[in-house]
């Protein structure tokens, strides 16, 4: 078996070893907010976030699709000068990237984005960063907090999208299961940290997975959700929630599967050079579908509120066969108006 | 290249912070001077010319008849007129007094004898006097927005200012939401971004100096503030800081909130 | 005998709208009026009815140039009103922030407003072609000063980080280290700047009046202390500022108030007054700068304010470096405490870059402000400016009109008046039942 | 459907530098730009199907979607007709021959012109809708023998707004094309033809229509669609034979930025050309 064992004590050593070879991104606190950020040593990593089951406020999408990102650079007269390849190398200082401590739902979230950005026309800006990244996931054995409903969205047991999965099999030991060549390479490259797996470890792993199975509960049935949402196009439900919503967009920014963006041109003060920047946008904002001549294709707040659900629960399932939601509950946690996506869906299905 | 655009920066009643902010563009100032001719900037130089201007930036609110006339004259000489800062755009903090009974304030402030010594008219943002082509926001004006405006003007077009709430930039920076988590009365959800969520980034509530977003959800915001324990007077104060003459603030206060806060009286002209 | 009148409209390169009217009869000025035509804004009135913690930001809009001073004065006076005692750390950071403003304001004044006068330019913008390096140095110094304000206050103008009892957030050690490096460069530039200024000659003029500055007997204080008079040696507690000390009156030609002390005496507040009163407490390097100029203390030439500013640049940058070092060593602690507040009255006397600043408030038990009173440096000085102008006759009698106007302009400029800050209110006292 | 080739040497998010090689002033606010990619290989490779669009960047100002208006039969360069309405379009209008712009694309699904060989074609367009329609129209008349009747109805606001007047006159003279034109208003009384909205042209062709064998291509302002559809239904043309080009805000052109979402479809990927029966099923379309 390719899996190996790593002791909990050795995790800091692993991080330190990785920082020599990679740009390492791991959970930390930034002014009391749990977050993913670049670390230079294991002392900066908050293992507490990982093992006391908190989700960083911003999901790992912030690595591939940050709030602001340069797409390419140009000269105003001569045109494009730096393509996105050069720019993504500059962002990572010519290194490969490791994101450490990604929860299974976030692995699924990255998977959703990857498919969307790879399919049809592949978005080089996103994929360049994505493809040089190794994802080390830390498994969840139970709902991490009250807003989590990953089991309902079947995202707590991703089959792909991660390179190594670490699962706690006892207080002191984790099993490291590689899931790609990049993952195997990690286990191979740091032999002093990974030991062979024993029979007892295997059993403990199976026990852990069984425990996981038992602990996770489904809150409602997602089957047929797309038709339900579509059928409720004219329903009063949208109005009810629209009346509470601030349209601040917070839910869309913290969501691991929301990816709308807009672009801006930034020009230097001497007016010689410029760059195109991508910036997070949100379908909740009034100008999202506004075009020249003041025509707005989504004029009312209700239309905007509804569109997010249409996109997540109708368009994406039809197009790709997955929902645009992994049940991480961030949008619930960070909504100043306390709107709960589960309530919206339950009302639509008719179970609330 | 054709001759450089002629720029004027003038101030009416305010704290002069917007003009000072422009002087705070130390790193860019010399480059900027290569692009435009500043012909009128009383705060920074003598020998000013009163137009004609390609772009005239106007700071401050209008508080007397004399200023109204002067502003109208300036408008005639300006191809493009841009309001900078909260005072010019929304009346600024002094517009708070537009929502108080003028006569009573006057008597209380000067005593009956002094009442005629100083002329007091309603505080007006400049768009109540002349046509305004663009607004650059913040208190004081965001100097980078000012710079962007000049750059875009020169390259062609106008910059699109963010019309989304401060929460966008708060989330982008990974800030803790002080409204949700600490119950601090942050106006971020209804206020236009562009300041890079300055106040919340320091753990301080957004005071709303950039004015309302398009379609700001005041009803919902106020509802949440009440749930968090704010009183009627509190809410009036939170809303009425730098923004008295913002259209949506005015509408909300006078059409909805007046029923709650009976002390709100709007001074008609 | 010829009579002549100068009406200097819209004094440029000072902030806000003011005119100076000077009427001459032969060599004598027989009438001078400092007319503040800035629209009144009634800040004291606006403050009434506000919660004590929000008023801090609003009061800073009295004047952007002193916005940090206004916030620091407001927060200090309001803390006294409701009974909050800030910690040593908070006081240190407030001084640091205040020095950011002092450095910024002084370099702006001397480098961008006064220097063009002495070198014969309309403004700093016009200086660029001939003095590119000097302008660049001034700009980079101003940038550093602004960076310091931004680091502590959140923004160069109208800081956002100040709250009763402390700060919203503190800088990190790395940020402080970076700041320290910039301050060290600033200090070198200050010396170069002092050397440059020492080659220029200040116009000779003297008007010996009382001078007032904040004094605490142990330091060169900016953020709190008592009032001290230079000539009489009188000391007045901040809360007694209106008890037989400062009096304000309204005059028809100006939207700002005029004040006197001790029943009708003209007085003067300024960097020069501070140097006159507190020179003993300057840092060693600042004392060395003082020695570079042949300026006898106590000094009564308002043009020497420019010298005082350069001395203070050195003093403030020294102190800023000291405080930065202290907190690089020992990083600041979070100080988000809940405070119990009580009703009360609080007054504070501080030094804004251009001189004495008074803030005073009554607050009720719910933290709502019932009375507010502010006297800004420019309001303190309006009488003195008029008085100087009246005594200016001999200096301008044999000058061309153009030269005379320039000199009068320079005189007003030497006070660095923010005219809108003096026009924040006309009212004398507001007590609401 | 023709296979659209994306000619990108840099990755699909970065534009190809391209040169404006010819500018023709069409009306007071529209110009026709002929453009060539700088990279020779990409330029030779550049192919599109009528109705597709490109994203054109004016460096320093922004990027906007513009329908290709030339026919793909003509290789080596392509044409864009652009009306001045805002920042980017204003700036393009100030540009000169030889200036560099950025081009991404072609993107989207065009009009199914190859799929409908031997059918009768009816074109209906208004305003700038002429631009994308022209591409398929030129394609069809270049292969005239492949198609049955070709009918063209074009309406614009006023005589000064009329696009391609010379080309139009040629078409009017041709016997193998039924070309009808109108203007909404003729305030200066200088228009000799029909006055009225585009739907007033329908009686001219009503008798020519074979409802079963006719395919309709429509492009124009959003309000036009509603009335045109009513006319087409009166003629008995089935929804699946009516194709409309929808305009939406677009930032990426490749289904990522989400601005052009219409219900559960994207105008840039699934459109901009949709059949009416597709649109009927689309929430939020018309
Ligand atoms: C598929 C498609 C094909 C088009 N073909 C043509 C054509 O052949 N000729 C022509 O003149 N115009 C065409 N348009 C419309 C053209 O894209 C807009 O006129 C243009 O985007 C306006 O940009 P602006 O910067 O000048 O206007 P502004 O009002 O300054 O617009 C600001 C931004 O909003 C967005 N935007 C505004 N209006 C539109 C719009 N109608 N559609 C999409 N995005 C918009 C753009 O991102 C633009 O940069 C087409 C639009 C689409 C979607
Ligand atoms: S919609 Fe909400 S619960 Fe679902 S993935 Fe996004 S943030 Fe998480
Ligand atoms: S702190 Fe204020 S601005 Fe920031 S997310 Fe919360 S409500 Fe929005
Ligand atoms: S957070 Fe609010 S008050 Fe603070 S600068 Fe931004 S808009 Fe102004």
Q: What domains lie within chain D, and their CATH numbers?
A: 4-107 (2.40.30.10), 114-245 (3.40.50.80)
Q: What are phi and psi of B216, to 5 degrees?
A: -65, 140
| pLDDT exceeds 80 at position A110 | yes
| pLDDT exceeds 90 at position C75 | yes
Is residue C237 a part of any domain in this protein?
Answer: yes
Q: Is residue C269 located within the same domain as residue C339?
A: no
Q: CB-based contact (8 Å) between A285 and chain D? A: no
pLDDT at C425: 43
**C-beta atoms of B157 and D87 within 8 A:** yes
Q: How far apart are CA B138 and CA B242, in angstroms?
A: 9
Please tell me the least confidently modeled range out of A157-171, C50-64, C243-257, D176-190: C243-257
Structure token digits, residue C43:
């800040």
Ligand 2 center to residue A26 CA distance, Å? 21
CA-nearest residue, atom 7 of ligand 2? A255
CA-nearest residue, atom 17 of ligand 1? D65
In this structure, what is the dihedral angle of CA atoms C64, C68, C69, C74, given to the nearest 10 degrees?
100
| pLDDT exceeds 70 at position C394 | yes
Residue among B144, B129, B163 nearest B58 (CA):
B129
pLDDT at C14: 55
Ligand 3 atom with the smallest distance to the CA of A334 is 5
- Give the SS3 label for residue A194: coil
Is residue C224 a part of any domain in this protein?
Answer: yes
Q: CB-based contact (8 Å) between C67 and chain B? A: yes
Q: What is the mean pLDDT of residues A127-145?
A: 88
Q: What is the mean pLDDT of residues C211-238?
A: 91
DSSP-assigned states of every residue in chain D: -PPPB---SS-TTSPEEEEEEEEEEEETTEEEEEEEESSHHHHHH-B--TT-EEEEEETTTEEEEEEB-S-TTS-S-EEEEEE--SHHHHHHHT--TT-EEEEEEEESB----GGGTTSEEEEEEEGGGHHHHHHHHHHHHHTGGGSS-EEEEEEESSGGG-S-HHHHHHHHH-TT-EEEEEES--TTS---SEES-GGGGHHHHHTT--TTTEEEEEES-HHHHHHHHHHHHHTT--GGGEEEEPP---SSSSSSS-TTEETTEETTTT-BEEEHHHHHHSTT--
Binned at pLDDT 50, 70 and 90, residue B204 comes out as very high
Q: What is the mean pLDDT of residues C226-232?
A: 90
| pLDDT exceeds 50 at position A29 | yes
Q: What is the mean pLDDT of residues D54-79?
A: 91
Chain A environment of D258 (Cβ under 8 Å): 259-261, 281, 283, 311
Chain A environment of B197 (Cβ under 8 Å): none
Q: How far apart are CA C70 and CA C61, in angstroms?
A: 8
pLDDT at A150: 87
DSSP state of C112: I
Pocket, ligand 4, Cβ cutoff 6 A: B 138, 166, 191, 195, 197-200, 206-210; C 160
| pLDDT exceeds 80 at position D151 | yes
Do at least 3 CB pairs under 8 Å connect B with D? yes
Ligand 1 atom with the smallest distance to the CA of D84 is 26
Structure token digits, residue D232:
């087409």
Binned at pLDDT 50, 70 and 90, residue A257 comes out as very high
| β-strand partners of B230 | none
Per mean pLDDT, which of B54-68, C314-328, D5-19 is the most reliable? C314-328
Q: What are phi and psi of A13, to 5 degrees?
A: -60, -40
Q: Is residue C162 located within the same domain as residue C94?
A: yes
Please tell me the least confidently modeled range out of A102-106, A301-305, C113-117, D230-234: C113-117
Nearest residue, CB atoms, C426 vs list B38, B108, B118: B118
**C-beta atoms of A233 and D283 within 8 A:** yes
pLDDT at D4: 41
Q: Is residue C119 located within the same domain as residue C165?
A: yes
Residue B258, min C-alpha distance to chain C (Å) = 17
Exposed / middle / buried, residue B133 (Cβ in 10 Å: 0-12, 13-18, 19+): middle
Summarize pLDDT for B166-194 with one digit per residue, the tens.
Answer: 999 999 999 999 999 888 999 999 999 99
The parent domain of residue C419 ranges over 18-39+208-302+378-432
DSSP state of B113: G
Q: How far apart are CA C245 and CA C261, in angstroms?
A: 5
| pLDDT exceeds 50 at position C429 | no
| pLDDT exceeds 80 at position C161 | yes
Count of B-C CB contacts under 8 Å: 172
Pocket, ligand 3, Cβ cutoff 6 A: A 248, 250, 336; B 166-167, 170, 175, 177-180, 186, 188-189, 197, 200, 206
CA-nearest residue, atom 8 of ligand 2? A328
Angle at C101 (CA atoms; ends C100, C105), nearest 5 degrees: 125
In this structure, what is the dihedral angle of CA atoms C390, C394, C396, C398, given to the nearest 10 degrees?
150
Q: Which chains touch C (3 or more CB pairs under 8 A)?
A: B
**C-beta atoms of B34 and A254 within 8 A:** no
| pLDDT exceeds 90 at position D266 | no
| pLDDT exceeds 90 at position C356 | yes
Residues in chain B whose Cβ is within 8 Å of chain A = 28, 31-32, 34-35, 147, 151-152, 154-155, 160, 163-165, 167-168, 170-177, 179-180, 188-190, 203, 213-215, 217, 220-221, 224
Which CATH number covers residue C181?
A: 1.10.645.10
| pLDDT exceeds 80 at position D99 | yes
**C-beta atoms of D91 and B158 within 8 A:** no
pLDDT at C72: 95
Helices C305-329/C284-292 angle, 10° precision: 160
Q: Is residue C77 located within the same domain as residue C130?
A: yes
Binned at pLDDT 50, 70 and 90, residue A352 comes out as confident
pLDDT at D114: 83
Per mean pLDDT, which of B208-212, C38-42, D200-204 is the most reliable? B208-212
Q: Is residue C102 located within the same domain as residue C178?
A: yes
Ligand 4 atom with the smallest distance to the CA of C160 is 4
To the nearest whole number, what is the mean pLDDT of chain D? 85
**How, if at all, do strands C267-268 and C210-215 pair?**
parallel
| pLDDT exceeds 70 at position B114 | no
pLDDT at A19: 92
Is residue C295 a part of any domain in this protein?
Answer: yes
Domain ranges of chain A: 4-215, 225-349
Alpha carbon C333 to its chain centroid, in Å, reads: 30
| pLDDT exceeds 90 at position A143 | no
Structure token digits, residue A111:
């998977």
Do at least 3 CB pairs under 8 Å connect D with A? yes
Q: Are A117 and A84 in contact (CB under 8 A)?
A: no
Per mean pLDDT, which of A130-144, B66-80, C245-259, D251-265 is the most reliable? B66-80
Binned at pLDDT 50, 70 and 90, residue C124 comes out as confident
Ligand 2 atom with the smallest distance to the CA of A258 is 6
Q: What is the mean pLDDT of residues D99-124?
A: 89
Q: Is residue C252 located within the same domain as residue C290?
A: yes
Chain B environment of D101 (Cβ under 8 Å): none
**C-beta atoms of C168 and B202 within 8 A:** yes
Structure ipTM? 0.88
Ligand 1 atom with the smallest distance to the CA of D132 is 8
| H or E stretch covering B39 | strand B37-41
| pLDDT exceeds 70 at position D60 | yes
Q: Is residue C131 located within the same domain as residue C173?
A: yes
Binned at pLDDT 50, 70 and 90, residue C424 comes out as very low
pLDDT at A163: 93
Q: How far apart are CA C281 and CA C283, in angstroms?
A: 6
Q: What are phi and psi of A182, to 5 degrees?
A: -60, -40
Per mean pLDDT, which of C228-232, C334-338, D223-227 is the most reliable? C228-232
Q: Is residue C220 located within the same domain as residue C326?
A: no
Q: Which ligand is nearest to the CA of C159?
A: 4
Which residue out of B162, B174, B177 has the highest number of ligand 3 atoms within 8 Å of its CB and is therefore the one to mutate? Answer: B177
| pTM metric for this prediction | 0.89
pLDDT at D5: 44
pLDDT at C167: 93
**C-beta atoms of B167 and A67 within 8 A:** no
CATH number of the B6-155 domain: 3.40.50.700
Q: What is the mean pLDDT of residues A284-298?
A: 81
Please tell me the least confidently modeled range out of A44-58, A152-166, C341-355: A44-58
Q: Which of C341, C356, C374 is the last residue of a domain?
A: C374
Chain B environment of C157 (Cβ under 8 Å): 17, 20-21, 24, 140
Ligand 1 center to residue D83 CA distance, Å? 9
Determine what percent of chain C is predicted with pLDDT higher than 90. Answer: 45
Q: Which ligand is nearest to the CA of D127?
A: 1
Chain A environment of D57 (Cβ under 8 Å): 276
Q: Could you tell me which residue, B160 or A217, shows the higher pLDDT? A: A217
pLDDT at D31: 94
Residue D46, min C-alpha distance to chain B (Å) = 29
pLDDT at C426: 40
To the nearest whole number, what is the mean pLDDT of chain B? 87
Structure token digits, residue D206:
């009503």
SS percent in chain A: helix, strand, coil, step 5: 40, 20, 40
Q: Which of C332, C350, C374 is the last residue of a domain?
A: C374
CA-nearest residue, atom 8 of ligand 4? B209
Pocket, ligand 1, Cβ cutoff 6 A: A 291-292; D 53, 62, 64-67, 69, 81-83, 85-89, 128, 131-132, 247-251, 272
pLDDT at A171: 86
Determine what percent of chain D is predicted with pLDDT higher than 90. Answer: 26
Binned at pLDDT 50, 70 and 90, residue D182 comes out as confident
Q: CB-based contact (8 Å) between D251 and chain B? A: no
Q: How far apart are CA A262 and CA C275, in angstroms?
A: 56
Q: How far apart are CA D205 and CA D122, in angstroms?
A: 9
Range(s) of chain B covered by CATH 3.40.50.700:
6-155
Is residue C308 a part of any domain in this protein?
Answer: no
Q: Is residue C396 located within the same domain as residue C369?
A: no
Q: Which residue of D has its CA nearest to B160?
A: D87
Binned at pLDDT 50, 70 and 90, residue B105 comes out as low
Q: How far apart are CA B47 and CA D211, in angstroms?
A: 77
Q: Is residue C260 located within the same domain as residue C148?
A: no
Q: Are C19 and C11 in contact (CB under 8 A)?
A: yes
Please tell me the least confidently modeled range out of A193-207, C383-397, D165-179: C383-397
Q: What are phi and psi of D184, to 5 degrees?
A: -65, -45
Q: Considering its fold, how many domains does chain C have in total?
A: 2
Chain A environment of D6 (Cβ under 8 Å): 121
Q: CB-based contact (8 Å) between D281 and chain A? A: no
pLDDT at D201: 80
Q: How far apart are CA C344 and CA C363, in angstroms?
A: 5
Q: Which ligand is nearest to the CA of A336?
A: 3
pLDDT at D238: 86
pLDDT at D1: 35
Q: CB-based contact (8 Å) between D61 and chain B? A: yes
Q: Could you tell me which residue, B254 or A350, shows the higher pLDDT? A: B254
**C-beta atoms of D90 and B156 within 8 A:** yes
| pLDDT exceeds 60 at position A51 | yes
Binned at pLDDT 50, 70 and 90, residue A226 comes out as confident
Q: What is the mean pLDDT of residues A284-304?
A: 82
First to last CA, chain B: 47
Structure token digits, residue C273:
């007054």
| pLDDT exceeds 70 at position B109 | no
pLDDT at B112: 60
Do at least 3 CB pairs under 8 Å connect C with B? yes
**C-beta atoms of B30 and C142 within 8 A:** no
């Amino acid at each position: 078996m390719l899996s190996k064992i790593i002791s909990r004590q050795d995790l800091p050593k692993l991080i330190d070893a990785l920082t020599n070879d990679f740009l390492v991104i791991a959970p930390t606190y930034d002014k009391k907010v749990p977050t993913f950020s670049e670390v230079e040593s294991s002392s900066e990593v908050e293992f507490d976030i990982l093992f006391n089951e908190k989700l960083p406020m911003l999901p790992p999408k912030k690595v591939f699709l940050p709030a602001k990102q340069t797409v390419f650079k140009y000269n105003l007269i001569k045109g494009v000068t730096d393509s996105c390849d050069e720019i993504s190398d500059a962002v990572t200082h010519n290194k490969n990237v490791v994101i450490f401590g990604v929860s299974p739902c976030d692995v699924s979230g990255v998977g959703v984005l990857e498919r969307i950005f790879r399919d049809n026309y592949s978005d080089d800006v996103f994929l360049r960063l994505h493809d040089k990244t190794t994802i080390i996931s830390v498994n969840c054995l139970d709902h991490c907090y009250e807003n989590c409903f990953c089991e309902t969205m079947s995202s707590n047991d991703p089959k792909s999208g991660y390179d190594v999965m670490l699962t706690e099999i006892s207080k002191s030991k984790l099993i490291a299961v590689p899931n790609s060549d990049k993952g195997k390479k990690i286990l191979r490259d740091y032999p002093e940290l990974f030991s062979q797996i024993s029979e007892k470890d295997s059993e403990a792993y199976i026990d852990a997975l069984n425990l996981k199975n038992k602990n996770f509960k489904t809150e409602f049935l997602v089957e047929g959700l797309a038709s339900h949402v579509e059928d409720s196009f004219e329903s009063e439900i949208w109005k009810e929630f629209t009346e509470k919503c601030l349209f601040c967009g917070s839910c869309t920014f913290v969501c691991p599967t929301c990816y709308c963006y807009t672009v801006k041109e930034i020009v230097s003060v001497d007016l010689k050079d410029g760059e195109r920047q991508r910036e997070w946008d949100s379908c909740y904002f009034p100008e999202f579908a506004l075009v020249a001549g003041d025509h707005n294709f989504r004029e009312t707040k209700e239309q905007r509120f509804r569109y997010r659900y249409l996109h997540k629960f109708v368009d994406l399932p039809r197009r790709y066969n997955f929902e645009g939601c992994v049940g991480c509950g961030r949008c619930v946690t960070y909504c100043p108006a306390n709107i709960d996506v589960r309530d919206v869906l339950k009302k639509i299905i008719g179970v609330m | 290249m054709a001759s450089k655009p002629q720029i004027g920066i003038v101030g009416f009643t305010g704290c002069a912070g917007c003009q000072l902010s422009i002087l705070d563009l130390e790193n860019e100032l010399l480059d900027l001077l290569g692009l435009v001719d500043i012909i009128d900037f009383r705060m920074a130089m003598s020998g000013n010319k009163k137009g004609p201007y390609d772009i005239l930036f106007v700071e401050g609110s209008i508080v007397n008849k004399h200023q109204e006339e002067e502003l109208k004259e300036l408008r005639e000489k300006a191809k493009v007129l841009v309001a900078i800062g909260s005072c010019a755009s929304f009346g600024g903090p002094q517009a708070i007094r537009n929502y108080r009974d003028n006569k009573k304030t006057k008597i209380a402030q000067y005593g009956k004898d002094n009442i005629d010594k100083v002329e007091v008219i309603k505080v007006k943002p400049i768009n109540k006097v002349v046509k305004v082509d663009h607004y650059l926001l913040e208190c004081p004006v965001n100097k980078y927005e000012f710079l962007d405006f000049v750059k875009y003007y020169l390259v062609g077009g106008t910059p699109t200012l963010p019309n989304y709430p401060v929460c966008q930039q708060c989330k982008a920076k990974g800030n803790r939401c002080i409204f949700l988590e600490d119950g601090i009365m942050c106006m971020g959800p209804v206020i236009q971004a562009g300041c890079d969520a300055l106040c919340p980034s320091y753990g301080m509530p957004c005071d709303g100096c950039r004015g309302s977003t398009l379609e700001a959800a005041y009803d919902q915001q106020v509802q949440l503030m009440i749930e968090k324990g704010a009183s009627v007077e509190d809410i009036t104060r939170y809303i009425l800081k730098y923004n008295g003459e913002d259209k949506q603030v005015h509408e909300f206060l006078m059409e909805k909130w007046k029923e709650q806060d009976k002390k709100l009286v709007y001074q008609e002209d | 005998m010829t009579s002549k009148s100068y009406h200097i409209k819209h004094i440029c390169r000072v902030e806000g709208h003011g005119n100076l009217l000077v009427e001459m009869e032969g060599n004598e000025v027989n009438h001078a009026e400092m007319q503040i035509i800035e629209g009144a804004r009634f800040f004291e009135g606006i403050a009434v009815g506000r919660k004590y913690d929000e008023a801090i930001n609003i009061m800073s809009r009295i004047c952007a140039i002193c916005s940090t001073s206004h916030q620091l004065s407001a927060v200090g006076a309001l803390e006294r009103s409701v009974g909050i005692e800030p910690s040593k750390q908070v006081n240190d950071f407030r001084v640091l922030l205040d020095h950011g403003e002092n450095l910024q304001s002084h370099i702006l004044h001397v480098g961008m407003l006064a220097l063009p006068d002495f070198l014969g330019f309309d403004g700093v913008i016009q200086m660029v072609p001939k003095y590119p390096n000097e302008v660049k140095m001034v700009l980079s110094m101003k940038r550093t000063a602004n960076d310091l304000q931004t680091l502590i206050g959140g923004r160069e103008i109208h800081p956002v980080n100040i709250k009763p009892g402390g700060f919203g957030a503190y800088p990190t050690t790395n940020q402080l280290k970076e700041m320290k490096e910039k301050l060290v460069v600033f200090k070198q530039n200050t010396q170069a700047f002092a050397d440059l200024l020492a080659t220029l000659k200040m116009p000779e003029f003297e008007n010996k009046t009382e001078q007032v500055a904040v004094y605490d007997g142990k330091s060169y204080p900016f953020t709190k202390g008592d009032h001290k008079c230079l000539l009489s040696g009188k000391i007045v507690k901040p809360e007694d500022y209106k008890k037989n000390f400062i009096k304000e009156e309204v005059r028809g030609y100006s939207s700002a108030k005029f004040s006197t002390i001790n029943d009708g005496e003209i007085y003067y507040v300024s960097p020069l007054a501070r140097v006159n009163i507190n020179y003993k407490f300057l840092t060693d390097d600042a004392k060395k700068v003082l020695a570079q100029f042949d300026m006898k203390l106590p000094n009564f030439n308002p043009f020497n304010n420019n010298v005082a500013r350069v001395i203070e640049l050195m003093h403030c940058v020294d102190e800023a470096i000291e405080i930065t070092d202290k907190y690089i060593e020992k990083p600041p602690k979070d100080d988000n405490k809940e405070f119990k507040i009580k009703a009360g009255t609080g007054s504070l006397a501080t030094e804004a870059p251009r001189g004495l600043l008074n803030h005073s408030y009554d607050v009720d038990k719910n933290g709502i402000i019932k009375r507010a009173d502010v006297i800004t440096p420019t309001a303190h000085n309006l009488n003195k400016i008029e008085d100087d102008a009246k005594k200016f006759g001999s200096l301008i009698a044999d000058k061309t009109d153009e030269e005379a106007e320039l000199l009068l302009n320079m005189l007003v400029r030497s006070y660095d008046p923010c005219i809108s800050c003096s026009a924040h209110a006309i009212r004398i006292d507001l007590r609401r039942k | 459907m023709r296979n659209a080739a994306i000619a990108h040497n840099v990755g699909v998010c970065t534009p190809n530098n391209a040169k404006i090689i010819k500018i023709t002033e069409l009306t007071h606010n529209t110009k026709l730009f002929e453009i060539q990619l700088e990279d020779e290989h990409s330029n030779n490779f550049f192919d599109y199907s009528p109705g597709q669009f490109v994203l054109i960047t004016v460096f320093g100002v922004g990027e906007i979607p513009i329908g290709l208006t030339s026919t793909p039969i003509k290789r080596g360069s392509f044409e864009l007709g652009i009306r001045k309405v805002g920042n980017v379009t204003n700036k393009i209008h100030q540009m000169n021959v030889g200036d560099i712009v950025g081009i991404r694309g072609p993107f989207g699904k065009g009009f199914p012109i190859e799929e409908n060989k031997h059918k009768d074609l009816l074109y209906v367009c208004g305003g700038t809708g002429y631009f994308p329609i022209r591409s398929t129209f030129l394609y069809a008349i270049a292969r005239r023998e492949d198609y049955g009747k070709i009918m063209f109805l074009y309406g614009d606001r006023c005589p000064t707004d009329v696009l391609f007047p010379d080309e139009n006159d040629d078409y009017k003279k041709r016997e193998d094309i039924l070309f009808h034109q109108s203007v909404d208003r003729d305030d200066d009384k200088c228009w000799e033809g029909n006055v009225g909205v585009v739907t007033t042209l329908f009686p001219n062709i009503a008798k020519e229509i074979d409802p079963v064998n006719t395919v309709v291509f429509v492009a124009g302002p959003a309000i036009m669609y509603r009335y045109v559809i009513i006319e087409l239904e009166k003629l008995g043309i089935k929804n699946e034979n009516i194709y409309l080009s929808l305009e939406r805000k677009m930032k990426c052109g490749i289904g990522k930025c989400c601005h052009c979402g219409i219900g559960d479809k994207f105008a840039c990927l699934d459109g901009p050309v949709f059949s009416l029966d597709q649109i009927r099923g689309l929430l939020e379309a018309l």
